[in-house]
Structure 1
């Protein structure tokens, strides 16, 4: 796709919305609409929507994308970076994937998505009875969901590597727990403070050694750049549910 693509940016007054607008401007793309909570969503001038808001807002935006896509006879691309999804919200979004080209990821960083592949491989090779897995993450004090979407992505990669269900293996909070750690569990540790953009590590610990795979985000524009690349990939694709592994070609 060429630079003639027109973008709509949701959550335009937020930190990520501002970062997306900055990168779009730098790269010479046209911003057809920049909107936030309470604004009218008119997508008639947009080819793709980049959306770092909340699950509730993202569902409304997906409905607007579906309606606009039907009006013009081809699906819009909806790039979703919202995190903290509940099962009912997941299901609501799923009902729209036959009308919208949705790329959703807990993290649009190329580095994080490469890290997922490494975590999956390590988890597959290191036996659960000898190696504990702990996902550690730190974010700024304004982040409302925990564990982060990225941490859950990394935990899911570990679960896939071990061929287990993350919902059954996950230990996301240890308050009130007693006794030793159960073999095979995938733990999550969370830090919230200051202006931390995003720090993620996956620790593989045995009795004798520790392996740590990690990623640090230094600038929010890296997420914006990844989301824009996802949009460039998604425009013109069939309606459906995709993620960054599809964008990067890891899913074949």
Structure 2
């Protein structure tokens, strides 16, 4: 399968390119980056000391040469790439976070014509953690829940898409909407903790790849379910599984729970 990678000069883009080049069943066909990027015009494998023959471009029309795009960029960039994917019948794996409701609606509309895997986290471990959280939320309905996450200083959205998904899983398991029970910040005289609320705490600093912990706090005990990423390789490998999943499916909107068979 011919794979395109967006954000080719970035840290995640390079991790994806490396993973695609190592996969025997995939080939790197397109490397995209934003206009003005210093990487434009360079070979996509130059950072690895490899000559791939794929030159980094900012032209979404290049997606005509790919079977599937992997995109971990920014919402505005992803949506521009998405339109090109629809035009050229190219499937897309979206790991970008921070979409507003209009952006999410555009993704759902595109999925009527192409295959889309849209998930806040492509890691196999994170998606397994989501299943554990669902179970814990059902077993511990009266426990206080707090979601903690930490990422590198350059991450622009907060809480992370993964943290939001974790909160959504807990809320849904309890028959609630996250918007109705979330506490996004605490400051000043907040009063006692209101039962059933889900609190969020955020750290941004250094080069932290991604840490997430969900606390279930009861009387006399506390359960912590934690996932820590030490590199971006797990996101890349999960993305390749999503690419392969789309190759065997008709157009539609899928998530990593479906890709990994955890939705049953």
Separation in structure 1 between the aligned mates of residue 197 and residue 255 of structure 2, nearest angstrom: 26
Tell me by how many angstroms 1:127 deviates: 2.4
Separation in structure 2 between the aligned mates of residue 127 and residue 244 of structure 1, nearest angstrom: 26
Query: For 1:119-198, what aligned pairs fall within 5 Å after superposition?
Result: 119-128=133-142, 131-176=143-188, 178-198=190-210
1:40 aligned partner: 59
2:47 aligned partner: none
2:21 aligned partner: 25
Separation in structure 1 between the aligned mates of residue 190 and residue 263 of structure 2, nearest angstrom: 40
- Kept in 2, the 8 Å contact 1:122–1:161? The answer is no
Give 5+ residue unaligned stretches, structure 1. Answer: 70-75
- Kept in 2, the 8 Å contact 1:52–1:80? The answer is yes
Counterpart among 78, 82, 88 of residue 58 in structure 1:
78
1:95 aligned partner: 109
Separation in structure 2 between the aligned mates of residue 20 and residue 182 of structure 1, nearest angstrom: 43
TM normalised by structure 1 equals 0.92
Report the secondary structure of 1:90's partner residue.
Answer: helix
Counterpart among 93, 106, 110 of residue 120 in structure 2:
106
Separation in structure 2 between the aligned mates of residue 175 and residue 231 of structure 1, nearest angstrom: 43
Report the secondary structure of 1:34's partner residue.
Answer: strand
1:14 aligned partner: 10
Tell me by how many angstroms 1:213 deviates: 0.5
Give 5+ residue unaligned stretches, structure 2. Answer: 36-57
Query: For 1:162-241, what aligned pairs fall within 5 Å after superposition?
Result: 162-176=174-188, 178-241=190-253
Aligned residue pair count: 240
TM normalised by structure 2 equals 0.88
Report the secondary structure of 1:44's partner residue.
Answer: helix
Tell me by how many angstroms 1:219 deviates: 1.1
Report the secondary structure of 1:67's partner residue.
Answer: helix
Looking at both structures, which has the greater relative contact order when contacts are Cα pairs under 8 Å and sequence separation is at least 6? 1
CA RMSD of aligned residues (A): 1.2
Report the secondary structure of 2:63's partner residue.
Answer: coil
Separation in structure 1 between the aligned mates of residue 188 and residue 251 of structure 2, nearest angstrom: 45
Deviation readout 1:18-50 (Å, 9 max, x if unpaired): 100011112243111101112101112211100
1:73 aligned partner: none
